[in-house]
Structure 1
């Protein structure tokens, strides 16, 4: 952020260019293991507070859970804003470079594509064991015994759902508030992934975190479904006719209020069926099905899902451009 205002204006051309540069940086470098990642630090704070606060009556856990969400999200925003303010006092260019790097850490386009291809590549050569091992790194379901179709389903579902969490939602919040707001979103997302489960341990303590994550993803998830559909208009072989109406009808079947939107859209564009029976630690979990199975799921669908992911975020940024130009013209 620039020293003069210490806040790049929301939906400004300057901020759009900065966000675009951050996305390019993520695509080029991903998350180098030698570079400290803010989410790791956020996760450590959450883990420490969870151990200290997650005890007592249900009412006590709910109250402390609300404090956890407020402290972690608000603290992340305040700390990142203060850091950029201090750096801007030293040098606007230093602050700008730091914000670029911070924004890049909130994005996972390269990492998501690489994780999905780690499943697709062994499937293409018939190495089911390696594909099962790769899928186990990115999903919570049991992967032992899964065939090619089920392995492809796990990878496609992961790409579709995480297009929101890992790319478009951070972009959305970054365009509204730069790196501080994007990092606050990632803090919300990390809270949900760590304490937002419906389990005896987290049912009360993580309720506020889960609801906050649902709220933060509500609009980005629906916008992402639209941009995925628009990407399907230009990608050969996409079954885009009727996909909007079908997605709107089927998305609420998903247990998450948001994940069903990108998953249903990708399912319809591919002409496959997602959802169904999963096993977690040996326990069956039946998920509602999304999409119509015109084709049997196979490894080739993973690469197509990655294509929709890239097309979706690109159109997401393109749709921001008219708003930016109108705002620049009005101001």
Structure 2
């Protein structure tokens, strides 16, 4: 087996086994510090005008993506100078750190456990750790929906997208993707502070996630069938509701999840104390219940494993033909 494929597979398995232990400093936190530091510098350098902030945002995108992927390349090159096996081991470690399958399940199952215990306050706190919306006003159904939605959405940008980029270009391209995605999560807001400064990051994140979001949805429909869920309804809701969010990519896997589980997701939500009116996804065929969190995570695992098999097979065939 080609070593680059093997490194991704072993990294994937390591993520399923270990997840993200809290005692281990995650490299994406360094990317976050880089973004924050560059933002302070660029805001001082460029004028506080619409054009100035747009230009500063472009420089933030170029510098963050370039420094992050460049650092990954340098580390792998240095490891290769020591020994090929050292480079391979580092590749496995880097691939593992780019995936979030187990941690996504672990964090959302904390919400499930709290709801099962009947502790709504604890459930609100647990879900606040994984979503950006205000959670202190959510009832049990609202908390459950928030957890299910974050599993569905992050199936794409937390697992399938980095997996795809790593299969194409190894950890270097994987870190390039995570740099862009982290920028979007930090500065890609349509508020007074980031409307112009964060626009380049937000738009480029839409570009790099365009194909992964749609691949994730198709793979999720396949996984729904494998997991005993309603794949046909998942496909129906996907075709109908996949563009119901303002983002061109975020509703795809959420729509599949809503259809496969026969529930209705999304709708209005509070962010930073302000109500945002958002369309719903799916049909309210039955009430949302906290067991839907475990179902969403089962769908997450099925989609991730199916993606690994498909991407690995395709890359293996391409390498064989070349």
- When normalised by structure 2's length, the TM-score is 0.95
Cα shift at 1:294: 1.1
> How many residue pairs end up in the alignment?
319
What is the match of residue 179 of structure 2? 187
- Is 1:117 equivalent to 2:106 in the alignment? no
Q: Do 1:13 and 1:324's aligned partners in 2 also have CA atoms closer than 8 Å?
A: no
Q: Distance in 1 between matches of 2:162 and 2:30?
A: 18
Distance in structure 2 (CA, Å) of the matches to 1:164 and 1:122: 26
Structure 1 unaligned spans of 5+: 1-11
Measured against aligned partners, the alpha-carbon deviations of 1:263-296 in whole angstroms (never above 9, x if no partner) come to 0000000000001121123321111100111111
Structure 2 partner of 1:258: 249
Report what 1:282 is aligned to.
273
Match of 1:320 among 302, 311, 319: 311
2:56 maps to which residue?
64
Which residue number in structure 2 is paired with residue 21 of structure 1?
10
Q: How does 1:2-81 map to 2 (within 5 A)?
A: 13-54=2-43, 55-81=47-73
* CA distance in 2 between partners of 1:136 and 1:321 (Å): 35
Counterpart for residue 89 of structure 1? 81
**What are the equivalent positions in structure 2 for 1:122-161 lying under 5 Å apart?**
122-161=114-153
Q: Judge which range, 241-250 or 120-129, deviates more.
A: 241-250
Give 1:176 shift: 0.6
Aligned partner (choices 274, 295, 304) of residue 295 of structure 2: 304
SS of alignment partner, residue 135 of structure 2: coil
After superposition, what is the alpha-carbon deviation per residue over 1:18-44, rounded to whole angstroms, capped at 9, x for unaligned? 111101111222223333322111111
Q: CA deviation at 1:15?
A: 2.1
Unaligned residue ranges in structure 2 (runs of 5+): none
In 2 relative to 1, CA 148–315 (structure 1 residues): closer, same or farther, beyond 3 Å? same
C-alpha deviation, 1:241, in angstroms = 1.7
**C-alpha distance in structure 2 between counterparts of 1:148 and 1:99, whole Å:** 42
> For the Cα contact (< 8 Å) 2:3–2:88, is it kept in 1?
no
Separation in 2, partners of 1:281, 1:57:
25
> Once structures 1 and 2 are overlaid, which stretch shifts more, 27-36 or 103-112?
27-36
- In structure 2, what is the equivalent of residue 267 of structure 1? 258
2:167–2:312 contact (8 Å) kept in structure 1: no
The residue matched to 2:242 in structure 1 has which SS? helix
* Residue pair 1:272, 1:295 contacting (<8 A) in 2 also: yes
Structure 1 length-normalised TM: 0.93
Moved more, 52-61 or 181-190: 52-61
From 211, 220, 234, the equivalent of 1:228 is 220
Whole-Å separation in 2 of the counterparts to 1:85 and 1:16: 18
Bigger Cα displacement from structure 2, 116-125 vs 32-41: 32-41
- More relative contact order, 1 or 2 (CA 8 Å, 6+ apart): 1
TM-aligned CA deviation for residue 129 of structure 1: 1.6
Cα deviation for residue 218 of structure 1 reads 0.8
Question: 8 Å contact 2:127–2:135 — kept in the other structure?
Answer: yes
Distance 1:49 1:145 in 2: 35
Deviation at 1:325, TM superposition (A): 3.5
Please state if 1:247 is matched with 2:247: no
